[in-house]
Amino acid sequence: MACFQFCYAAATASTIYPRCPDMEKKTLDKEVLAAVQRIPLLSLAAARILELTARADHTLTDVMDVARNDAALTARLLKIVNSPVYGLLEPATSLERAISYLGENLVVSLVLEDTIGSYMNKPLQGYGSASGDLWKHDLRTAIAAKEVALLNRDRCPPDVAFTGGLLHDIGKSILSEFLKERYQEILAELARKEVKDYVGGERELIGIDHARVGYELARNWGLPEVMQMVIRYHHEPSLAPEDLKTVVYAVHLGDIIAMMGGYGTGTDNLFYRLDQRYTDYLVVGPDQMGMLMLSVEEKFNETVETMQMH
């Protein structure tokens, strides 16, 4: 599995940057957490959808019940399902028919894009990424995490893995503002092997990493524990609570697959390690990785095409 080792990739930054003093790191840490508190709460529909999809026993009917109370979402779903992409012989006029064609994951994606799209689609100057890169990476991670979970359906709920994948990097949208003129320092530390991966560089520079920032935001939003843990430990899945390790590892692996497919979030792409202990929780053989990547690519393109219809 040596081809999946992402740490210590070559970096071109050669300037020697000073380390951030501890006092400055503590100040920045507090500023970052204060920024988390300023992020508005989720809409009721989004909060309810995320609460439902975090439960392994939820049904499509549960999702329909929430969507039915959101007129704008209902209209959007009907517009998409009646677009040429689906080529229905007769127009779909009911929410039930629309969701039965589109599926739960697209509904969740649309709800999140509508609610937090301004954060997920903005350029991340602190990671050197363009507008939309974070959302594309998260969507690709979600699809990959679900594909991994489908291979392990008896131990990992696929739809929970999908939603976790969509949310796993939400902390970057906040931390980026604190890194935007300093991320070269992280690249320099990686080149000098002073930190083992990009999250280690974030902690060294700012005193906090994007996974912890996302976790604090998830707590502030009142997201279910499984989503909080996916966000907090997606780079360090071995530290997740034992009963949630399988889904956290699914998102961890989905994240790596997304980056392998060329969809990262900028300068940090490929500066992460694959935790080889994923094989203790998931059955995904080396011979399955190629097929997984092809399937993710196909489903990602289909989803993006569909979402562009609204």
What pLDDT, on the 0 to 100 scale, is given for residue 227? 97
Amino acid found at 39: I
Say what the pTM is: 0.86
Q: Say if CB 273 and CB 196 are below 8 A apart.
A: yes
CB burial class (10 A; 0-12, 13-18, 19+) of residue 297?
A: middle
Domains and CATH numbers, the chain: 2-307 (1.10.3210.10)
At 83, the pLDDT band (50, 70, 90 cuts) reads confident
Reported as a single tens digit per residue, the pLDDT across 231-253 is: 999 999 999 999 999 999 999 99
Helices 172-179 and 22-37, interaxial angle, to 10°? 140
Residues 6+ apart with CB under 8 A from 109: 139, 142, 166, 303, 307
Length of the chain in terms of residues written: 310
Of 201, 135, 132, nearest to 168 by C-alpha is 135
The pLDDT of residue 18 is above 80: no
Query: Looking at residues 163-181, what average pLDDT do you find?
Result: 93
At 22, the pLDDT band (50, 70, 90 cuts) reads low
Query: Looking at residues 57-82, what average pLDDT do you find?
Result: 88
Reported as a single tens digit per residue, the pLDDT across 206-215 is: 999 999 999 9
Task: Determine the Cα–Cα distance for residues 176 and 136; give it in Å rounded to an integer.
Answer: 17
The pLDDT of residue 15 is above 50: no
Task: Determine the Cα–Cα distance for residues 7 and 225; give it in Å rounded to an integer.
Answer: 29
The pLDDT of residue 2 is above 70: no
What pLDDT, on the 0 to 100 scale, is given for residue 21? 57
Reported as a single tens digit per residue, the pLDDT across 109-160 is: 988 888 888 888 999 998 988 999 999 999 999 999 999 999 999 999 999 9
Residues 6+ apart with CB under 8 A from 162: 53, 105, 108, 142, 143, 145, 146, 149
What pLDDT, on the 0 to 100 scale, is given for residue 118? 87
